Chains A and B, each alone.
Chain A
Amino acid sequence: MPNALTEDLNLISRFKDGDLAAFEEFVRKNEDRIYNLCRYMLRDASDAQDAAQDTFIKAYKGLKDFQPDASPSTWLYRVAVNTCLDHKKKYRNDPLSGEAVPGDLPSPDPSPEGSYHARRDAEVLRTALRELPEKLRSAIVLREIEGLSYEEIAAVLDISMGTVKSRIARARDELRVIVSGKS
């Protein structure tokens, strides 16, 4: 059975040969993952949708030069993280505008109580993450939200393993203080 890496490489290869449907499939396959990352990197759902959309538009242009020896998911994560960081700089002082974006889709947990707790925890986390410096936030989100290994995070952020460990440790320490309510 082909794994996710092989599937992505096949889709990219077909897209480079001019198959637009392959790119659409690539987007559909990765949209939740990238949107989720942007949701935790940025302020709200509207910003996250903009950044996630920009990520795939950059991917549309950039995949033509993609080298098959690289990992598509690492490459896509890197584009997404950089897009989120650029988005924050660009829209730092601008009020939100544009089409209304529906709120996040509900958690698949069927129990209302479970869904409520999951949403509340997500909001507590997002608020705490917003207080972290961008470098620490991107490292801890890739680790805790996306489940990337230290090696994968180092490849996405283009930093050393030692720096990854240090940023994650510092992020956890700051979050611990924020969440436990200490100054």
Chain B
Amino acid sequence: MNCRRTKKMISPYIDDELTPREKEAFLEHIGKCQECSRELEEARAVHLIFTKTERSQAPYGFTERVMAETARKDAQRKSFWELIPFRPLLPGLVEVACALAIMVLGIIAGNQLVLHSPAHQERAGIEQAFSLDVFQANPPGSVEGAYARIMEAGNEG
């Protein structure tokens, strides 16, 4: 076993997580290698500090403060609820509001579907073709159009 592998085993060794075979190989290397042995001792020293260090206790009155805070938050929640007008009707109002919202969305969605449907597009195209707005008295390519331009040029001159 090399130093790199041994050093990786220091932590699980301290936690007694090595298999018997791994432990045997680990300890054999530790016995022969000063550097790994030193690292193991330093890791053990840190572990020892943890085991000897004092455990803190919660401050006096901690539970009472927690219970007071939860009671305060409960009271706050109740008083907020009581401020809302027409409280008993609220669930019913919410249901009606949702139904109206669904209806409006349905109407808007249906309108959009109709506007973009192929049949509607075709009708809109036909209406445009027969619209007098696009009718030109003297189209540019016609004899009348050419005559009109000559007359305009003559008037300007």
User: Which residues from chain A sit less than 8 Å from chain B, CB to CB?
Assistant: 20, 23-24, 27-28, 31-32, 34-36, 39, 45, 48-49, 52-53, 56-57, 60, 101-102, 104-105, 107, 109, 115, 117-119, 121-122, 124-125, 143-145, 150, 165, 168-169, 172-173, 175-176, 179-180
Check if A118 sits within 8 Å of B43, measured CB to CB. no
Contact B58 A122 (CB under 8 A): no
Residues of B whose CB lies within 8 Å of any CB of A are 8, 10-12, 14-15, 17, 39, 42-43, 45-47, 49-60, 62-63, 65-67, 69-70, 73
Contact in complex: B49, A179 (CB < 8 Å): yes
Find out whether the CB atom of A165 lies under 8 angstroms from the CB atom of B62: no
Please tell me if the beta carbons of B56 and A105 are within 8 angstroms of each other in the complex.
yes
6 further interface pairs, Cβ-Cβ under 8 Å (given A31-B63, A122-B54, A144-B50):
A31-B58, A32-B55, A32-B57, A60-B66, A165-B12, A179-B45
- Contacting pair B54 A119 (CB below 8 A): yes
- Are A104 and B67 neighbours in the complex by a CB distance under 8 Å? no
What DSSP secondary structure best describes chain B's contact surface? helix
28 CB-based A-B contacts, threshold 8 Å: A24-B63, A24-B67, A27-B63, A31-B62, A31-B63, A31-B66, A32-B57, A35-B56, A35-B58, A45-B56, A49-B62, A53-B62, A56-B66, A57-B69, A60-B66, A101-B59, A104-B56, A105-B60, A119-B54, A144-B47, A145-B50, A150-B17, A168-B15, A172-B10, A173-B11, A175-B46, A176-B39, A180-B42
**Residues of B close to A105: CB separation below 8 A:** 56-57, 59-60
Known A-B contacts A31-B62, A179-B49; the reply to A36 vs B73 at CB < 8 A is no
B74 nearest in chain A by CB position? A60
In the complex, the chain B residue whose C-beta lies closest to that of A105 is: B57
Chain A residue numbers with a CB within 8 Å of B15 are 143, 150, 168
Task: Specify which chain B residues have a CB less than 8 angstroms from the CB of A143 in the assembled complex.
Answer: 15
Say yes or no: A121 contacts B11, CB within 8 Å: no
The answer to whether B56 and A39 have CB atoms under 8 Å apart is yes
Cβ-defined contact, A118 with B59, below 8 A: no
Q: Which residue of B lies closest to A144 (CB)?
A: B50
Contact A121 to B14, CB < 8 A, known contacts A176-B42, A176-B43? no
> Please, which residue of chain B has its CB at the minimum distance from the CB of A34?
B58
B40 → chain A closest CB, angstroms: 10
> Are A121 and B58 in contact (CB-based, < 8 A)?
no
Q: Among the interface residues B8, B12, B42, B47, which one has the most CB atoms of the partner chain A within 10 A?
A: B42
Residue from B54, B69, B73 whose CB has the most chain A CB atoms within 10 Å = B54
